[in-house]
Amino acid sequence: MRIEKHEDHCLKSCSVHSYIRKNWLGSIVFPFSALLQQSEFLDQTEVLQRAQIFKKNCKAIFPNRRIVTTVFNDEGIQFLVTRYIKALNPPQQLLDIFLHDSNATLDLIARFVSLIPFMPNTPDENDGSDIWMTSERCVSLATGNKEEHAILLCNFFLYFGKKALVLLGTSGLEGHVAYVLTQETNEYLLWNPSTGQCYKQFDPFCPLKSVDCLFDDRNVWFNIQQSNTPMAVFFDYSKESFWKPLLPKNVQGTKVQSIQVTGFPIQMPYTDVQSVIDAVYQTGIHSAEFPQTEFALAVYIHPYPNNILSVWVYLASLVQHQ
């Protein structure tokens, strides 16, 4: 970015100096093999248009089943629902428990999410034009709707390496609901974010009455099976004869940037000091031309077994504007 600066105590007739300052927004690496395999990129407008057509086609098949493909964030910007899904770490107190009992931790996390107060959803007929907050904002404000609770629980589960998706359907007790579906070794589990309870797929006491739609961080799937009751649903969403996908297979591998609130530190595996230095220089922050620029630097190294290290570098340039 170009910055213009007047000399101190300078009258309007004095000259103006122009400086170039670089702000690092982030970096990305494209493996060459991935580029060869990727034959098509859809831009955001095309994806949103595809989402609206997809929803219309799904409603034509099963008008009474729920399908949500896009929503608005709290700034009025429309996004695919997939961009709300991202692995997020739960509070540290829950992480500490995980070291001793992983299954108990998952139950406790579900209980924690259920304790966040609920705010009323918009009317059911407005599915697709809802406003959804990010998970961080849901936690910071200590409130959220049914879908935001399910997204938060799903994101926490993803942090622990669980295979989790958000499920939209209906319940005999709550009407329209959002659950979290996790795929275990030999079964599927249904988690109710409203209560923190977990049910097996064939549990007759599960209040979930219909399974209409699934989504994760890569795609949205609409249930086109004749039956949508949990006990009769075939949950293998890779089968297009059972689940209609929003994005074709050649696009599903293109992971879109999540909209969850995030920072931009440098995180990398440690190999040697020079690699870390090179990564810092590649940001270009150090080449700022603006006079009296100050810098702040912090480094954190997290150890793992077998001398494996994860390096975090936080770098900031500070400029006082007059």
The pLDDT tens digits for 56-74 are 999 999 999 999 999 998 8
Closest to 77 measured CA to CA, from 99, 44, 110, 51:
44
Predicted pLDDT of residue 146? 94
The answer to whether 160 touches 106, Cβ cutoff 8 Å, is: yes
Round to whole Å and give the CA distance between 209 and 191: 14
Predicted pLDDT of residue 67? 95
Round to whole Å and give the CA distance between 64 and 57: 13
Residue 66 tokens read as 């729920």
Predicted pLDDT of residue 57? 96
CA 24 to chain centre: 22
Name the pTM for this structure: 0.66
DSSP 251-287: HHTSPPPP-S-----EEEE-S-HHHHHHHHHTT-GGG
Residue where the block lists tokens 């209980």: 111
Determine which helix (DSSP H) or strand (DSSP E) holds 5, and give its type and residue range.
strand 2-6
Residue 268 tokens read as 């990398």
Fold of 44-253: C8orf32 fold (3.10.620)
Round to whole Å and give the CA distance between 165 and 128: 18
> What is the signed CA dihedral for 152, 153, 159, 164, rounded to 10 degrees?
-120
Residue 208 tokens read as 């979930």
Closest to 270 measured CA to CA, from 224, 315, 312, 221:
312
* Total Cβ atoms within 10 A of residue 124: 10
Q: Where do the structural domains in the chain lie, given as residue ranges?
A: 32-39+256-321, 44-253
For domain 32-39+256-321, is the CATH number 3.30.1660? yes
Round to whole Å and give the CA distance between 259 and 44: 13
Q: What share of the chain is helix, strand, coil (3-state, %, to 5)?
A: 30, 25, 45
Predicted pLDDT of residue 39? 45
Round to whole Å and give the CA distance between 252 and 246: 9
Q: What do you get for the CA distance between the two ends of the chain, in Å? A: 16
Predicted pLDDT of residue 24? 72
Predicted pLDDT of residue 13? 58
The answer to whether 304 touches 310, Cβ cutoff 8 Å, is: yes
**188-192 and 197-200 strand pairing:** antiparallel
Residue where the block lists tokens 């000399």: 7
Per-residue CA distances from 311 to 83, 95, 282 (Å): 27, 20, 16
CATH fold match for the domains 32-39+256-321 and 44-253: no
State which residues of the chain have pLDDT below 50. 39-41, 124-126, 128, 253, 262-263, 321-322
Round to whole Å and give the CA distance between 318 and 2: 15
Residue where the block lists tokens 């209409």: 212
